[in-house]
Amino acid sequence: MAIYDEPMDYLQLIDGELRPSRNGQWIDSVNPATGQVWARIPAGGAEDIDDAIRAAKSALDSWRALPAASRAALLRSWAATVRENLDTLWRLDATDNGRARREAEPAIAGAASQIEFHAGLAETITGDTVLVSDSATTYSVREPFGVVGLIIPWNAPLAMFLAKVSAAIAAGNTIVVKPPERASVSVLVAAQLLEKAGIPRGVVNVVTGEGSSAGEALVRHPDVRKISFTGSTATGRRITENSVANIKSLALELGGKSPNIVFADADLDQAADVVAAGIYTASAGQACIAGSRILVEEAIFVDFVERLRSRASAMVLGNPLDSRTDMGPLAFDGQYDKVREYLESGRQEGATLAFGGRCGSELFTPESPLREGYFVEPTLFLTEDPQLRVCQEEIFGPVAVAMPFADEADAVRLANDSGYGLAAGVWTQNLSRALRLTRRLEAGTVWVNTYRRLHWALPFGGQKESGTGTSNGPTTLDEWLEHKSVWIEHG
Ligand code: NAD
Which residue has the CA at smallest separation from atom 11 of ligand 1?
A: 211
**174 - beta bridge partners?**
147
**Interior/surface letters 165-204, b for 16+ CB within 10 angstroms, e for the rest:** bbbbbbbbbbbbbbbbbbbbbbbbbbbebbbebebebbbb
Which residue has the CA at smallest separation from atom 40 of ligand 1?
A: 253
Q: How remote is the CA of residue 318 from the centroid of ligand 1, in Å?
A: 26
Does residue 153 have its Cβ closer than 6 Å to ligand 1?
A: yes
Does residue 255 have its Cβ closer than 6 Å to ligand 1?
A: yes
Cα of 302 vs its chain's centroid, Å: 33
Which of helix, strand or coil describes residue 107? Answer: helix
Q: How remote is the CA of residue 242 from the centroid of ligand 1, in Å?
A: 15
**Which atom of ligand 1 lies nearest, measured to the CA of 255?**
34
CB-based contact 366:336 (threshold 8 Å): no
Triad 7, 9, 14: Cα angle to 5° = 160
CB-based contact 428:320 (threshold 8 Å): no
d(CA 35, CA 332): 8
Does residue 321 have its Cβ closer than 6 Å to ligand 1?
A: no
Does residue 232 have its Cβ closer than 6 Å to ligand 1?
A: yes
> Which candidate, 166, 13, 187, 144, places its Cα nearest to that of 77?
166
State the CATH architecture for 259-455.
3-Layer(aba) Sandwich (3.40)
Amino acid at 243: S
**pTM given for the model:** 0.96
Does residue 332 have its Cβ closer than 6 Å to ligand 1?
A: no
Report which DSSP code applies to 172: T
Which residue is catalytic, options 105, 253, 394, 442?
253
**Which atom of ligand 1 lies nearest, measured to the CA of 235?**
2
**Which atom of ligand 1 lies nearest, measured to the CA of 153?**
26
CB-based contact 474:455 (threshold 8 Å): no
CB-based contact 38:332 (threshold 8 Å): no
d(CA 91, CA 321): 7
Q: How remote is the CA of residue 230 from the centroid of ligand 1, in Å?
A: 5
Candidate from 232, 242, 470 with most ligand 1 atoms within 8 A of CB, to mutate: 232
d(CA 178, CA 157): 10
> Which candidate, 9, 189, 165, 196, places its Cα nearest to that of 90?
189
Which residue has the CA at smallest separation from atom 32 of ligand 1?
A: 232
**400 - beta bridge partners?**
380
DSSP per-residue codes, 130-160: ----TTEEEEEEEEE-SEEEEE--SSSHHHH
Give the pLDDT confidence of 394-427 residue by residue, as tens digits: 999 999 999 999 999 999 999 999 999 999 999 9
> Which candidate, 314, 385, 411, places its Cα nearest to that of 355?
314
Residue 306 is a catalytic residue: no
Phi-psi region of 360 (alpha: psi -120 to 50; beta: other; left: phi over 0): left
Give the pLDDT confidence of 96-115 residue by residue, as tens digits: 999 999 999 999 999 999 99
Does residue 291 have its Cβ closer than 6 Å to ligand 1?
A: no
d(CA 152, CA 392): 24
Does residue 472 have its Cβ closer than 6 Å to ligand 1?
A: no
Which residue has the CA at smallest separation from atom 14 of ligand 1?
A: 211
Candidate from 154, 229, 235, 394 with most ligand 1 atoms within 8 A of CB, to mutate: 235
Which of helix, strand or coil describes residue 112? Answer: helix
Does residue 285 have its Cβ closer than 6 Å to ligand 1?
A: no
Along the 491 residues of the chain, how does pLDDT read in single tens digits? Answer: 444 556 799 999 999 999 999 999 999 999 999 999 999 999 999 999 999 999 999 999 999 999 999 999 999 999 999 999 999 999 999 999 999 999 999 999 999 999 999 999 999 999 999 999 999 999 999 999 999 999 999 999 999 999 999 999 999 999 999 999 999 999 999 999 999 999 999 999 999 999 999 999 999 999 999 999 999 999 999 999 999 999 999 999 999 999 999 999 999 999 999 999 999 998 999 999 999 999 999 999 999 999 999 999 999 999 999 999 999 999 999 999 999 999 999 999 999 999 999 999 999 999 999 999 999 999 999 999 999 999 999 999 999 999 999 999 999 999 999 999 999 999 999 999 999 999 999 999 999 999 999 999 999 999 999 999 999 999 999 999 999 999 999 99
Which residue has the CA at smallest separation from atom 42 of ligand 1?
A: 288
CB-based contact 246:66 (threshold 8 Å): no
Which residue has the CA at smallest separation from atom 38 of ligand 1?
A: 288
Q: How remote is the CA of residue 404 from the centroid of ligand 1, in Å?
A: 32
Helices 157-170, 185-197: axis angle to 10 degrees equals 40
Candidate from 114, 155, 216, 333 with most ligand 1 atoms within 8 A of CB, to mutate: 155
**Interior/surface letters 362-401, b for 16+ CB within 10 angstroms, e for the rest:** ebbeeeeebbbbbbbbbbbbbbeebebebbebbbbbbbbb
Q: Where are the domains of the chain?
A: 8-254+467-487, 259-455
d(CA 285, CA 401): 12
Q: Is 232 exposed, middle or buried (0-12, 13-18, 19+ CB in 10 A)?
A: middle
CATH no. of 8-254+467-487: 3.40.605.10
